[in-house]
Amino acid sequence: MELKSEFRVGIPLEQAWSTLTDVEFIAPCMPGAQLTEVDGDEFKGGVKIKVGPITAQYKGSAKFVELDEANRRIVLEASGRDSRGAGNAAAEVTAEMTPDGDGTVVSIATDLKVTGKVAQFGRGVMADVTEKLIGQFVDSLEQKLSELGDQDDAGAAADDAPADDAEASDETGEAPASSGPRQIEMAEPEPVDLLETAGRPMLKRILAPLAVVVFFLFNRRRRRKRRQG
Q: Report the alpha-carbon distance of residue 229 to residue 212 in Å, rounded.
A: 26
CATH for the 2-152+183-198 domain, from 2.40.50.180, 3.40.47.10, 2.60.40.10, 3.30.530.20:
3.30.530.20
pLDDT tens, position by position, for the chain (229 residues)? 888 999 999 999 999 999 999 999 999 999 999 999 999 889 999 988 887 777 878 899 999 999 999 999 999 999 998 877 778 889 999 999 999 999 999 999 999 888 876 677 677 777 877 888 888 899 999 998 888 776 665 555 555 555 555 444 444 555 445 567 889 988 888 888 877 776 655 545 544 454 455 555 555 555 566 666 5
Which one, of 55, 49, 61, lies nearest residue 126 by Cα?
Answer: 49
Angle, CA 140 vertex, CA 134 and CA 143 arms, to 5° = 140
Which pLDDT value is given to residue 219?
A: 57
pLDDT value at residue 166? 44
Q: Which pLDDT value is given to residue 168?
A: 43
Q: What integer pLDDT is reported at residue 88 of this predicted model?
A: 85
Spatial separation of the C-alpha atoms in residues 115 and 192, rounded to whole Å: 17
Q: Are 35 and 25 in contact (CB under 8 A)?
A: no
The predicted structure's pLDDT at residue 116? 76
Spatial separation of the C-alpha atoms in residues 13 and 97, rounded to whole Å? 7
Report the candidate in 74, 68, 47, 53 with the shortest Cα–Cα distance to residue 188.
47
Closest CA to 94 of 117, 113, 111, 115: 111
Domain ranges of the chain: 2-152+183-198, 199-229
String of b and e for 52-61 (b: at least 16 CB within 10 Å)?
eeeebbbebe
* Contact present, 13 and 99 (Cβ < 8 Å): yes
